[in-house]
Amino acid sequence: MHAIAAAADLTILNAFASLPQWHAHLASLALPSPHRLRPSWDEYFMRMCDLAARRSNCMKRRVGCILVKENRVVATGYNGTPRGVLNCNMGGCPRCNDGAARGVALDVCLCLHAEENALLEAGRARVEHGGPESGAILYCNTCPCLGCAKKIIQVGVREVVFSQSYGMDDLTQRLLSQAGVTLRRFSTKAIV
C-alpha cells in the first residue's frame, strides 16, 4: 500500500465528518478538469523554464529560458559561465563568488544570462524565420534585463512571457513596447 501511495501524483486525506462534506471537498478540487489533466502551453513552457533553471551553476540566481516557435521548442538556455570557463559554483565567476550585492558590478560578471544562451543557441534565422509577425515567443522565469531585452528585439522575438519580476522591469517594458514586442507576465498561481 505504501508503494502505491508513494507513486500517486496526489494524496487526499479524508478528515471529514460526513460523506456530503467529503464529496463537496472532492468537487472543489476539480480533479477531472482539463486544466489539471493537460497544462496550457504557457504552463508547459514555464515549467520547462523552471527545469532549465535547475541546470544553472550561478551562485546568485537560477534562471531558465525557452524559445518557442509555433508551440515547438527552438532552444533552451540557463544562466552560467561561458563554455570552457570554470563553472560559477566552482569559482569561475569572481563577482558571483565574492558576495557582490544584487545589481552591483554586473559589468564584471562572467555569467551569460539564460536569455542570451537561448538566443545564441537558436540564432536569428530560427527565431525570426517568416518575418517579425511570426517570430518566436521567449519564455523566462524572470523578466529580462535591459541588456537581454535589446538582444531579444534584435533577433526578432515577438513576445516575452515571464513569471518573476526583476529590478528593471519598467525599462525593459518600455523598450520592448517601443519595438513592438509584447511583454506578458504569467501568473505562477495558475500552475497547480
pLDDT tens-digit profile of 107-165?
888 999 999 999 999 988 888 766 656 789 999 999 999 999 999 999 999 999 999 98
Nearest Cα to 147, choosing from 103, 180, 190, 187? 103
| Domain locations in the chain as residue ranges | 34-190
Burial of 129 (0-12, 13-18, 19+ CB in 10 A): middle
pLDDT at 129: 61
pLDDT at 157: 95
Q: Rounded to an integer, what distance in angstroms lies between the CA atom of residue 22 and that of residue 8?
A: 19
Give φ, ψ of 63 to 5 degrees: -125, 140
Enzyme catalytic residues = 115
pLDDT at 13: 80
pLDDT at 147: 93
User: Mean pLDDT, to the nearest integer, of 53-82?
Assistant: 95
53 pLDDT more than 80: yes
Nearest Cα to 70, choosing from 129, 125, 115, 116? 129
Q: Which CATH number fits domain 34-190: 3.40.50.12280, 3.30.70.20, 3.40.140.10, 3.40.50.1110?
A: 3.40.140.10
Q: Rounded to an integer, what distance in angstroms lies between the CA atom of residue 145 and that of residue 150?
A: 9
Write down the pTM of the prediction: 0.79
49 pLDDT more than 90: yes
